[in-house]
Amino acid sequence: MLLGCIGDDFTGSSDLANTLAKGGMKTVQYTGVPNNPAAADVEAGVVALKSRSIEPVDAVAQSLAALEWLKNQGCEQFFFKYCSTFDSTPDGNIGPVADALADALDAHKIIVCPAFPGTGRAIFQGHLFVNDTLLSESGMEHHPLTPMTDPDIRRWLARQTSQSVGHVSTSSVFDGAAAIADALEREHSAGHRYIVVDAIRDADLIEIGKATQDLPLITGGSGVALGLPANYADRLKAPKNGPAWRAQDGPCIALSGSCSQTTRSQVDKHKTNHPSIEITAEDALSGTVTAEQLSSQLLDAGHLALAYSSADPAVVARAQADYGRENVATALEGLFANTAKRLVASGVTKLLIAGGETSGAVVEALHPEALEIGPEIDPGVPALRARDDLALVLKSGNFGAPDFFVKANRILEGGS
Ligand SMILES: Nc1ncnc2c1ncn2[C@@H]1O[C@H](COP(=O)(O)OP(=O)(O)OP(=O)(O)O)[C@@H](O)[C@H]1O
Ligand SMILES: O=C(O)[C@@H](O)C(=O)CO
């Protein structure tokens, strides 16, 4: 294995794996830290953790265990992948995990770059934009677990680490890899261990990839991975187009715990012509709806039925105020995870999951050791094969076309 990646959630990890696979690296996504060595032909390994919203000390421990496993697979460079909207709180977990990885790798010049222009995330003057709005006005300020209320990534990261945070602006980035490398060195010499790097176009990310090829640790969104496969070009053995996707037939069910604006629109659209079941926080907490009931209702409802708890920010805020954020998340994620297990046991062969935390809970419950990366459904969302008879799609909250669920099923079935 050449490149070792640690993703702080499952959808984000499949987003990263998608980018690396498209770049020509034989890439596998692992569910947590594997117990066994990787297959010999894997060139990039992505260890998916559910560490974005857990206690910082646990996120650090899991990330260090992932790093250890990746080191044992022979990786030469390591990538800590977080969300392109920098999802974190003032306590973490990006800062604490990056600090621990940096210390373990003795890394002292570390880029911080969540940009993903393909989905509208750009960093300019150290500030993160989602399309034409600042992060803190993009809807992310209402995120149920990691409300992003400050668009200045330098300032937000500085709250999570005692290390100094510097910046490389577009004036260097636009001048290409050599200028970026010089600017990184200047910031490093000025005493900054972390360096937020502006990027507004894919071309910027390609140059950033070249400029960072000798750094032991890179941190960022999946966008940065656009530039990494080229650094290994002469050593890659994987066929450029990767193995063909084996079309998956059989029943498909969608589960959505994502409350993002994008997912809510996708849910609303899907509801107009497919069977749909809404789950409230109260349903999950009180046990009024159990996994047994929900799975049989979904199976009765049939192909492309959807169960969702996706709700607008006011509803989420009320549930969290009434019952506690953790309690609600645990109850809903547990309900979706147990429902998914029952669905698969009953013969469902395609599961579409919306939301990173929700996907993490479901995939941990299904526990496939490794996920093979298939074709891209929408930017940042690949088809995944968990088993011979089970295909998954893990959709990040903010990603996907308006008809995402229908489109995902079509692509899993071998369509376009
Ligand atoms: N109706 C609801 N009320 C309160 N909390 C909810 C509700 N529905 C979902 N949640 C919780 O909100 C969180 C949503 O996080 P999740 O990561 O699944 O989606 P997301 O943040 O939109 O996706 P991503 O992280 O990929 O951007 C989960 O913990 C989920 O259980
Ligand atoms: O970077 C993103 O936006 C996604 O890969 C993600 O991490 C969402 O959970």
Q: What is the pLDDT of residue 311?
A: 97
Which residues have CB under 6 Å of ligand 1? 9, 11, 143-145, 257-260, 263, 281, 309, 311, 315-316, 319-320, 328-329, 332-333, 355-358, 396-398
Q: What is the mean pLDDT of residues 183-188?
A: 98
**pTM of the predicted model, to two decimals?**
0.94
pLDDT at 121: 97
pLDDT tier at 144 (50, 70, 90 boundaries)? confident
Largest CA distance in the chain: 64
Average confidence (pLDDT) over 114-121: 96
pLDDT tens digits for 87-112? 999 999 999 999 999 999 999 999 99
Ligand 1 geometric centre to CA of 249 (Å): 29
Q: What is the pLDDT of residue 369?
A: 86
Residue from 279, 309, 364, 381 to probe ligand 1 pocket by mutation (most atoms less than 8 Å from CB): 309
pLDDT, the chain, mean: 96
Nearest CA to ligand 2 atom 5: 12
Fold of the CATH domain 3-235: Rossmann fold (3.40.50)
Show Cβ contacts of residue 39 under 8 Å, excluding neighbours closer than 6 positions: 28
Q: Which amino acid is at 74?
A: G
List the structure tokens of 82.
């977080």
Compute the distance from residue 257 Cα to the ligand 1 centre, in Å. Answer: 5
d(CA 302, CA 412): 17
List Cβ neighbours of 326 (8 Å cut-off, separation of 6 or more).
Answer: none
Predicted confidence at residue 71, as pLDDT, reads 98
pLDDT at 302: 87
Kindly list the domain boundaries of the chain, sorted by start residue.
Answer: 3-235, 252-412
Architecture of domain 252-412: 3-Layer(aba) Sandwich (3.40)
Q: Please check whether the two domains, 3-235 and 252-412, share a CATH topology.
A: no
Band the pLDDT of 154: cuts 50, 70, 90.
Answer: very high
Q: At 10, which helix (H) or strand (E)?
A: helix 10-22
Pairing mode of beta strands 252-256, 3-7: unpaired
Residue type at position 240:
K
Q: Give the pLDDT of residue 240.
A: 61
Which tokens in the block code for residue 209?
């990839």
pLDDT tens digits, 223-262: 999 999 999 999 998 666 666 799 999 999 999 999 999 9
Distance CA 401, CA 329 (A): 26
* Burial class of residue 323 (count of CB atoms within 10 Å of its CB; 0-12, 13-18, 19+): middle
User: Residue 328: pLDDT above 70?
Assistant: yes
Q: Measure 333 CA to ligand 1 centroid, in angstroms.
A: 8
Q: pLDDT at position 205, please?
A: 98
Cα-Cα-Cα-Cα torsion 256, 10, 379, 309, nearest 10 degrees, comes to: 10
- 258-288: per-residue pLDDT in tens? 999 999 999 999 999 999 999 999 999 999 9
Angle between helices 356-366 and 10-22 (to 10 degrees): 90
More confident call, 175 vs 369:
175
Confidence band for 130, pLDDT divided at 50, 70 and 90: very high
pLDDT value at position 43? Answer: 96
Q: What is the mean pLDDT of residues 5-32?
A: 96
